[in-house]
Chains A and B, each alone.
Chain A
Amino acid sequence: MGSADILSTLPELVLIATALLLLVMESAAEPHRELLAATALGGLAIALVTALGYGADGLYYSGMLQVDPYARFVSALALVLAALAIMVAVPYLRRTLEERGEYYSLMLFATVGMLLMVKAQDLTMVFLGLELLSIPLYVLAGFYRHRSSSNEAGLKYLLLGAFAAGFFLFGIALLYGSTGTTSYSGMAQAINSGTELSRVLTLAGFGLLLVGFAFKVALAPFHMYAPDVYEGAPTSMSAFLSTGPKLAGFATLLKLIAVVFAGTMVHWWTAIWILAALTMTVGNLAALRQDSLKRMLAYSSVAHAGYLALAILVTNYDSGFAMLFYLTVYVLTTLAAFGIVSLLEEGEESAMPGVEACKGLARRNPWLAAAFTLALLSLAGFPPTAGFLGKFFLFNATLDAGYLWLVILAVLNSLVSVYYYLRPVVAMYMQPGKNTSALPIPRMLIPALLALAVVALGAGFIPAPLVHATASAISAIL
Chain B
Amino acid sequence: MTTALFYLFSIFLLGSALFVVLNRHPVYSVVMLVFSFANLAGIYFLLEAYFIGILQVLVYAGAIMVLFLFVVMLLNVSPERPRARWVPLDRWWFGAVALVFVISLGALLVRGVGQLPSARSEVPDGFGGITQIAEALFSRYLLPFETAALLLTVALVGTVFLAKRKI
Contacts and interface: CB of A to CB of B under 8 A. Distances in A.
Interface of A: 1, 9, 16, 23, 61-65, 100, 102, 105-106, 109, 112, 116, 122, 124-125, 128-129, 131-132, 135-136, 138-139, 142, 145, 154, 174, 178, 197-198, 200-201, 203-204
A1 B157 contact: no
Contact of A204 (B109, B116, B140, B148): B109
Contacts of A124: 141, 144
B21 interface: no
A135 B150 contact: no
B108 A62 contact: no
Given A198-B112, A204-B109, A109 B150 contact: yes
A145 B162 CA distance: 7
Given A128-B151, A145-B162, A198-B116, A23 B157 contact: yes
B158 A138 contact: yes
A9 B150 CA distance: 14
Interface of B: 105, 108-109, 111-113, 115-117, 139-144, 147-148, 150-151, 154-155, 157-158, 161-162, 167
B158 A64 contact: no
Contacts, number: 80
Among B116, B117, B154, B167, the one with the most A-chain Cβ atoms within 10 Å of its Cβ is: B154
Contact of B154 (A9, A122, A129, A136): A136
A136 B158 contact: yes
B148 A128 contact: yes
B40 to A, nearest CB: 14
A135 B154 contact: yes
Contacts of A128: 144, 147-148, 151
A129 to B, nearest CB: 7
Contact of A106 (B116, B142, B144, B158): B158
Contacts of B161: 102, 139
A112 B147 CA distance: 10
Contacts of B116: 197-198
B55 to A, nearest CB: 17
A178 B112 contact: yes
A106 B151 CA distance: 11
A470 B161 CA distance: 39
A200 B157 contact: no
B142 A1 contact: yes
Contacts of B113: 198
A139 B158 contact: yes
Nearest to A183: B140
A142 B163 CA distance: 11
A201 B112 contact: yes
A139 B112 contact: no
B115 A197 contact: yes
A109 B143 contact: no
Contacts of B108: 200-201, 203-204
24 contacts: A9-B143, A16-B150, A61-B143, A63-B140, A64-B140, A100-B167, A109-B150, A112-B150, A116-B147, A124-B144, A128-B148, A135-B154, A135-B158, A139-B162, A145-B162, A197-B112, A197-B115, A198-B112, A198-B113, A198-B116, A200-B115, A201-B108, A203-B108, A204-B105
Contact of A105 (B109, B141, B157): B157
B129 to A, nearest CB: 20
B162 A125 contact: no
Contacts of B140: 62-64
B102 to A, nearest CB: 13
Given A61-B142, A61-B143, A64-B144, A197 B154 contact: no
B163 to A, nearest CB: 9
A391 to B, nearest CB: 34
Contacts of B142: 1, 61-62
A106 B157 contact: yes
A328 to B, nearest CB: 27
A135 B115 contact: no
Given A65-B143, A201-B115, 5 more contacts: A64-B141, A116-B147, A125-B143, A145-B162, A198-B116
A125 B150 CA distance: 13
Contacts of B144: 64, 122, 124-125, 128
Contacts of A203: 108
B44 to A, nearest CB: 14
Q: When A and B form their complex, which 8 residue pairs have the shortest distance between CB atoms, in order from nearest?
A: A139-B158, A201-B112, A200-B112, A61-B143, A198-B115, A198-B112, A204-B108, A128-B147
Contacts of A139: 157-158, 161-162
B158 A204 contact: no
Contacts of B167: 100
B154 A154 contact: no
**Which one of B115, B142, B158 has the greatest number of beta carbons of chain A within 10 Å?**
B158
Nearest to A116: B147
A132 B147 contact: yes
Contacts of A138: 158
A102 B157 contact: yes
A50 B129 CA distance: 40
A132 B143 contact: no
A173 to B, nearest CB: 12
Contacts of B143: 9, 61, 64-65, 125
A246 B115 CA distance: 37
A132 B151 contact: yes
B43 to A, nearest CB: 14
Contacts of A61: 142-143
Contacts of B112: 174, 178, 197-198, 200-201, 204
A142 B162 CA distance: 8
Nearest to A142: B162
A302 to B, nearest CB: 21
B39 to A, nearest CB: 18
A139 B117 CA distance: 45
B9 to A, nearest CB: 18
